[in-house]
Structure 1
Amino acid sequence: MTADDAQAPPLAFSGQRLDWRDLPRHVRSRIAELAGAPVTAEIGATTGFSPGFAAVLEFADGRQAFVKAVSPEQNPDSPDLSRREIRVARALPAEVPAPRMLWSDDDGEWVLVAFEVAHGRAPEQPWRDEDLAQVLHALTALAHVELPQPCTLPRYEEEMAPAFTGWRTMLRSPDVARITSAVDVGELGAWAAAHIDELAGWELDGLQALAGDSLVHGDLRADNIILDGAHTWFIDWPHAAQGAAWVDLAFMLPSVAMQGGGDPQQIFWAHPASEGVPPAALRAALAGLAGYLAAGSFAPAPLGIPNLRAFQRAQAVAALSWLRELS
């Protein structure tokens, strides 16, 4: 996150955030202690889904840091996600375009982590051609990052195993057509309902398609990208894993499409990362992603993230539209 981007207009979807004054006194004191100087100013982050505190802090000695703080009170799952982000930050190779972690702390309730400030801005919405071209170029370099061996990052296919069950879950529903049409009330929803057996079968093959030895961010969207002139930062890495080199590109494109960035089918196959990718593998991976998003969109909103389900539904529609082209 950046000082510049923290002041930008929010994207259409974001999470609920705490201000500096909302943090307990002992948490504010601990942050100042870890930073080595009192906090003098806060520039709150306006993008991203993480609940809790996230802001660029300025300190009395002139330094800045992007600081996150969260407890189970904001969301019961977020502290563990922050703990995972800390572990990933320690494992990322130096050449990864991610802000360096400065310090972290965990008292069993509040998890704190600070990163260097990456100045810049989020890609404009709707996507501009030049922004998308810059991000796609950066993804090419990211796919060629060599992970140290042995690597402590998990396998992406293992991480996504609980998520790639959406179509089979919906298939067991007594009213499949009603559920699928709730994702899209038009022709696309009707297509999903008519082809749900095929979607469930493709989903079964999706995990194998994710396997590989490349670095995978696992959650690339516009709000996890910062453009600093010609340099591209990828931020928020708790879902990082080892997987197929083309997965980040494929899984980012439904969000690009829903935010006006163009045809994912055309963008994917024009990108170097798609070279040698079997169409069946792409179809299987997209089926798993679309099922996860579609099924997840019907669940109650998580604490502190009230509009996540609407975002998932919009992404599910974009992923399904692309998937239908591949069928």
Structure 2
Amino acid sequence: MATNRITFDDLPSNVLAAVEERIGPVLKSETVSQGFNSEIAARVFTDSGSCFVKGLRADHKRVWTQRREAEVNPYLHGIAPALLWQIEEAGWVLLGFENLKGHHADYTADSPDLPKVADLLRRLGEVPCPEIELRRAEQRLQAYAAKPSDLDYFAGRSLLHTDLNDHNVIVDDSAYLVDWAWATSGAAWLDAGYWVVWLMAAGRHEPESAEQWAREIPAWRVAPADGIAAFARATANVWEEIAGHDTDEWTARMLNASRRWASFRQRA
């Protein structure tokens, strides 16, 4: 469910002052509309440059996601924008990140962004899973697996992003993953699987062409076929729950893509 968004200037004056102690006087700010996990998401500009600020109230039920992003960021050099500072002030938790200059990834079938995203996932696969508290893929998917034994396929010690939404991938000369709120440990091939569904939904790929891109990721090429089928079924069940009885257009696309992929994998 989306978190209500407020503007940067709506923050309490002492919180704004704490930010300016870090970056200098703010000349302007631009609210970012995409994303669901933050109450504040804005590009903030000063004489010396810019940064991306995101945050939640300290009593928000998902404030742990802010702290998770801060914990995982030092391990993501070249994969995610660098965390420049963090503030806990007057009931707010804010993170200040490097402001990337690129565009949101284009997942359409002939997009020049796709090789860069595949390279990003290959590089992520080379990052050792840090010794910090992370959710585990088999736990997150426990309620959605068709049978308990399917969960064994999802377990592992690889660092995963798990939300390959095209708005979470910024592309310039290279590609970067933002919004690490749901960083997870699990089987190395799972992020490629998440990407398959997003390619089908956002880029209107068929299952075969989406999986062709997944095969660019080494971990996917050695993933067990039964495990992929189990993950496809579980993913469809996740989106069935998210969609509920009255779904919007965006969620409907994800539900349709996940159903199509699960059906394709059942036949494969």
Q: TM-score range with shorter-chain normalisation?
A: 0.7 to 0.9
Which residue of the other structure, out of 136, 143, 149, is the alignment partner of 1:165?
143
Post-superposition offset of 1:292: 1.5
Distance 1:205 1:130, change over 3 A: farther
Residue in structure 1 matched with residue 55 of structure 2 by the alignment: 69
- Checking the alignment, whether the CA contact within 8 Å between 2:107 and 2:202 is kept in structure 1 is yes
Instruction: Note if 1:20 corresponds to 2:8.
Output: yes
AA paired with 1:276?
V
Select the structure of larger CA radius of gyration.
1
Task: Specify which of 123, 148, 155 is matched with residue 105 of structure 2.
Answer: 123
Equivalent residue for 1:288? Answer: 234
What's the TM-score, normalizing by structure 1? 0.72
**Cα root mean square deviation, aligned:** 2.7
Is 1:216 the counterpart of 2:174 in the alignment? no
The question of 1:249 aligning with 2:249 is answered no
**CA shift at 1:28, angstroms?**
1.4
Structure 2 contact 106–114 (Cα < 8 Å) conserved: no
Tell me which residue corresponds to 2:35.
48
Shift of 1:126: 4.3
In 2, Cα distance between the equivalents of 1:144 and 1:98? 14
* Cα distance in 1, alignment partners of residues 127 and 132 from structure 2: 15
| 5+ residue gaps, structure 1 | 1-12, 167-198, 301-306
Out of 89, 94, 100, the position equivalent to 1:112 is: 94
Of residues 254, 258, 261, the one that matches 1:319 is 258
Is the deviation greater in 50-59 or in 309-318?
309-318
Task: Report Cα offsets for 1:59-93 as digits up to 9, x if no partner.
Answer: 24x121111122268xx333222122222224x25
The counterpart of 1:156, out of the listed 136, 157, 160, is 136
1:258-297 matches, within 5 Å, as 258-269=201-212, 270-271=215-216, 272-297=218-243
Q: Which amino acid aligns with 2:73?
A: A
Partner of residue 135, structure 1 = 117
Partner of 2:73: 89
Cα distance between partner residues in 2 of 1:104 and 1:159: 29
Q: Which residue is equivalent to 1:196?
A: none
Aligned 8 A contact 2:79 2:123 in 1: no
Q: Aligned residue for 1:31?
A: 19
Residues 257 and 263 in structure 1, CA contact (< 8 A), matched pair in contact too: yes
Residue deviations 1:246-304 (CA, integer Å, cap 9, x gap): 1111012212211124123443253333212111101111222221221122289xxxx
Give the percent of matched residue pairs that are identical in Structure 1 and Structure 2.
Answer: 25
CA distance in 2, matches of 1:78, 1:153: 15
Is contact 1:294–1:313 with CA below 8 Å preserved after alignment?
A: no
Cα distance in 2 between the residues matched to 1:243 and 1:139: 14
Q: Give 3-state SS (helix, strand or coil) of 1:17's partner.
A: coil
How far apart are residue 137 of structure 1 and its match? 2.4
CA 108–19 in structure 1, closer or farther in 2 if over 3 Å, else same: closer
Residues 72/245 of structure 1: CA separation in 2 closer, same or farther (3 Å cut): same
Asked if the contact 2:135–2:185 (Cα under 8 Å) also holds between the matched residues in 1, the reply is yes
Aligned with 1:240 (options 183, 186, 210): 183
Post-superposition CA distance 1:120-171 (Å, at most 9, x none) = 10123646431122211221222122335xx21425235414xx424xxxxx
Q: Is the 8 A contact 1:39 1:58 kept in 2?
A: yes
| 1:295-306 mapped onto 2 (5 Å cutoff) | 295-298=241-244
Residues 184-203 of structure 1 correspond to what in structure 2 (within 5 A)?
Answer: 200-201=146-147
